[in-house]
Amino acid sequence: MAEDKSEGLVKIRRALISVSDKTGIVDFARELKRFGVEIISTGGTAKALREHGIEVRDVSDVTGFPEMMDGRIKTLHPKIHGALLALRDNPDHVAAMKQHAIEPIDMVVINLYPFEQTVLNGATLDQAIEQIDIGGPAMIRSAAKNFCDVAVVVSVEHYAAVTEEMKRSDGAISAGTRQKLARHAFNLTAMYDMRISSHLTSSLLDIGESRSHGIGMGGGGGGVSFSKVFAQRAAAQMKSLVEQGLLMLHKRNDLRYGENPHQQAALYDVGWDGGVANAALLNGKEMSFNNYVDADAAWQLVSDFESNACAIIKHTNPAGAALGATGEEAYRRALACDPISAFGGIVAFNREVDEAGARAVVEIFSEVIIAPDYDDSALEVLRTKKNLRVLLAGDAKAAEGLEYKQISGGMLVQSRDSQQMKREELKVVSKRAPTEYEIDDLIFAWTVCKHTKSNAIVYAHDKQTVGVGAGQMSRVDSVKIGAMRAQLPIKGSVLASDAFFPFRDGIDEAAKHGIVAVIQPGGSVRDEEIVAAANEHGLAMMLTGVRHFKH
């Protein structure tokens, strides 16, 4: 069959094959041979094809140069790129090909060195650099640029469709298919370069780790100035955000709808392992947009604890959170904080769920449970609830990297709030110092507060939330709402505030309910007044010097 450009068909006479992932390549090459296609190939691919009886011409025979420098130089040659880039209906291009004995190549079949997988496997920087493909992307881009004459196949998933079209068209590929293949090709090289850029940025930039520990206030209540502390810590956390950023998204699947039924939605991942986006659904209906948002909030909260923890999330805020000797104990203690709001919530554990924990969870209706793993008996129990979505998320570890928030006309980018408070970083500013037991509760409450929408107030006792006030426009209102919603006794509990108290009214209100200690960042112009209020009520107060706004 002759080429029929009027119908957009191009006969495939010569193909270059060079693949790292050799899945399916032998069968695909055999199909090409059935159409009389001459195959050109490189080192390992050529060897694999020959071992299966497929005749192959070495690239070195085409270029006149051997592969060299440990395979770094193979296909970077005019007889390869000229064969791909030449426009077949351009007389000058045709004449140049004839003058330099360049034979046209009609198809390239390429997949790239596994850079991403190498990095995920814990490779050193030198090992990762050796997995940066040079010749592959160059050939892909040459072929894709000239899709009017060349077909570029960059995925194992495309082999069958290309073969079927060639069968229908006597060995030819249509213009429409070549355009689609080119689009896939450019997407591949863009994502490949983005991953390399991202890894090298994090590996090569000199990231300062200096931290400021000075609070500047004695136990008796001298003046407090946090402006320098905040500025120094913010500078240390900037992590040299690059001038230009790429965020490449891979569509995983469509969702039924977004936050509301009239909104369209889909799940994308960013090409990295782990996280809620990559969690396996072991049971239940497909996840909704809101399920993913709430599950991520729950997962990030429990991932901030080293001890056995459980969190129950409703609309991204904790209805309850607690530590426990077992998963069941942690769950029941979290549930006790607000069992009414917990109905229809998302439950997260940071340890494997056993049968006892699973039986506790299914006592009420929950939308989602997420955990690092489940034993067989736990899964059997959870699967008795056909609508309960069961997510397997792998190791519970705090998210790293950057956060992106879209605004109209742009994107906000920031480093994640990965700060975890240590005892030695806290500063006592009240006359009464907290007990060791109270410090444990203060750190627990502070950690939960970090994952609660601002203005955030968390009451806690014995590493269990007692009351939560979230998302209010006034901090004193959050204090009141947290106490109002408490189902457990507040007396004897501690209080965490995600930001400073602008007035003493929040402290006065909390003291009415019998709290014993407060943890907050400090930094208000009225800090001395706030500390004085704590002293008047006999409260212990500790300052963190760190704010945890969550919008």
**Contact by Cβ (8 Å): 540, 432:** yes
List, in sequence order, the alpha helices (H) in 338-470.
339-342, 355-361, 376-382, 436-450
Residue 145 falls in the annotated catalytic set: yes
Q: CA dist 233 to 230, 239, 289, 413, 454, Å?
A: 5, 11, 34, 17, 21
Rounded to an integer, what distance in angstroms lies between the CA atom of residue 436 and that of residue 445? 14
Rounded to an integer, what distance in angstroms lies between the CA atom of residue 77 and that of residue 83? 10
Cα 207 off chain centre by: 21
Catalytic residue among 315, 385, 397, 431: 315
β-sheet bridge partners, residue 346: 313, 368
Catalytic residue among 22, 33, 145, 431: 145
Phi, psi at 256, each rounded to 5°? -60, -40
Q: CA dist 504 to 192, 285, 472, 482, Å?
A: 54, 48, 17, 17
β-sheet bridge partners, residue 345: 366
Amino acid at residue number 216 = G
List, in sequence order, the alpha helices (H) in 169-224.
175-204
H or E element that contains 540: strand 540-543
Rounded to an integer, what distance in angstroms lies between the CA atom of residue 277 and that of residue 268? 7
Rounded to an integer, what distance in angstroms lies between the CA atom of residue 88 and that of residue 96? 11
Rounded to an integer, what distance in angstroms lies between the CA atom of residue 455 and that of residue 472? 5
* Concatenated DSSP letters of 250-280: EEEEEES-SSSTTS-EEEEE-S-S-SGGG-E
Rounded to an integer, what distance in angstroms lies between the CA atom of residue 330 and that of residue 325? 7
β-sheet bridge partners, residue 173: 10
**Computed over its alpha carbons, how large is the radius of gyration of the chain?**
31
User: How are strands ordered across the β-sheet holding 345-349?
Assistant: 280-283, 389-392, 366-371, 345-349, 309-314, 317-323
Rounded to an integer, what distance in angstroms lies between the CA atom of residue 319 and that of residue 185? 47
Closest CA to 147 of 193, 103, 87, 90: 87
**Contact by Cβ (8 Å): 303, 397:** yes
Cβ neighbours of 414 (radius 10 Å): 13
Rounded to an integer, what distance in angstroms lies between the CA atom of residue 517 and that of residue 194? 48
Residue 315 falls in the annotated catalytic set: yes
The catalytic site residues sit at 145, 315
